[in-house]
Amino acid sequence: MLNIEDRLCPEPNSGCWLWEGSTGPGKPGFRYGDFRRNGRHGLVHRYMYEKYVGPIPPGMHVLHKCDVTICGNPAHLFVGTNLDNIRDSVAKSRRKGVTRNRPSGLTYHYATKRPGARFKLSETQWQEMVTRFQAGTSQAVLARLYNLTRATIHNYLRRSACL
């Protein structure tokens, strides 16, 4: 049986425990250490966090303080949301060209017209669509009005708990 800790090599200068096993898909330098155990796939940093720190709440990410994706040192790991992960990457200049800044109060809802094509509904358009639906406008009519598929309308209304 694979012992995860045996494949981690301490790096004396940074304190990182570098994974010497396989890595998942992605660009070089951005791949995470991964393994298979008992027929199941796992990520090294998540495994190490759960073993030495505690359970990972559902939907949460395990982030690296050191920004070394193959590091498994529990002292370098912390739990955060996807937004925490984005903010961390922006603060550390790992996300060049992506600021995630929007004009205050402006929220966009993304929808798909057809595969590969995306457009945005502003918050005003979104609220207008929900109001029309609650007033009795059918999903088929909303789909024609907003140039969306009926399935997309259904999915967005379901997510906003209008159904």
Could you tell me where the DSSP H helices lie in 78-138? 82-91, 123-134
Count other C-beta atoms under 10 Å from residue 49's C-beta. 22
What pLDDT score does 111 carry?
52
Count other C-beta atoms under 10 Å from residue 42's C-beta. 16
Residue ranges of the chain whose pLDDT lies below 50: 1, 97, 102-108, 112-117, 162-163
**Whole-angstrom Cα distance, residue 122 to residue 112?**
14
Instruction: Say which residues have a Cβ less than 8 Å from residue 1's Cβ, sequence separation at least 6.
Output: 37
Which residues belong to CATH 3.90.75 in the chain? Answer: 4-91
| Burial status of residue 144 (CB atoms within 10 A of its CB: 0-12, 13-18, 19 or more) | exposed
What pLDDT score does 133 carry?
87
What pLDDT score does 142 carry?
84
What pLDDT score does 123 carry?
72
What pLDDT score does 130 carry?
85
**Whole-angstrom Cα distance, residue 108 to residue 10?**
45
Q: Residue for token digits 């708990």? A: 161
**Whole-angstrom Cα distance, residue 57 to residue 39?**
23
Angle between helices 139-146 and 150-159 (to 10 degrees): 110
What pLDDT score does 81 carry?
92
Contact 95, 76 (CB under 8 A): no
What pLDDT score does 119 carry?
52
- Choosing among 3.30.300, 2.30.30, 3.90.320, 3.90.75, the CATH entry for 4-91 is 3.90.75
What pLDDT score does 71 carry?
92
What are the b/e assignments for 52-63, b being 16+ CB within 10 Å?
eeeeeeeebbbb
